[in-house]
Amino acid sequence: MSKTLLYGATKIDETNSAYAPIESLAAFQWKNRVFVLFADRDNARAARQENQLLADRSALGERDMVVLKVSGSKVRALFGAADGLDGEAICHDLEGPEAGEFAAFLLGKDGTVKLKLSEPITNGELFAIIDSMPMRAEMLKSDK
């Protein structure tokens, strides 16, 4: 069993055409990877995930990340710019959790879900997943 599965993560099969770009986050397609964090009722896991991510802002920037926190219909950009987003539409499009439950999603630059989490993930694990994505791997290769 992989370590990410132990943390409640599911890597999404990118070749499955059922995973279409997420309409409510279409403004980010081909520009940013989006990490969407749904707050849990007591906010403990969401706060842990938020603090962990924001501790390495330079790595988020290098990976063209936008980090969003959704609580009900409210969306707050934790990293990057985002205006006029509807939390309920995002939750519906991602098939997100019930109100008060923790979940997180990583969307690739193509706008599709690459990772779904039911528990917080470490930055090292998240960045390793991103760095293995074809667009990121190609960019890293061209930098050498």
Query: Strands 65-71 and 33-38, how do they pair?
Result: parallel
Q: Is this prediction's pTM over 0.85?
A: no
* DSSP alpha helix (H) spans, 55-143: 57-62, 87-94, 123-131, 134-143
Report the greatest alpha carbon distance in the chain.
Answer: 45
Phi and psi based region of residue 43 (left: phi greater than 0; alpha: psi -120 to 50; beta: remaining):
left
Q: Render pLDDT for 91-144 as a digit per residue (tens, 0 to 9).
A: 999 999 998 899 999 999 999 999 999 999 999 999 999 999 876 655 555 565
Are the CB atoms for 71 and 80 separated by under 8 Å?
A: no
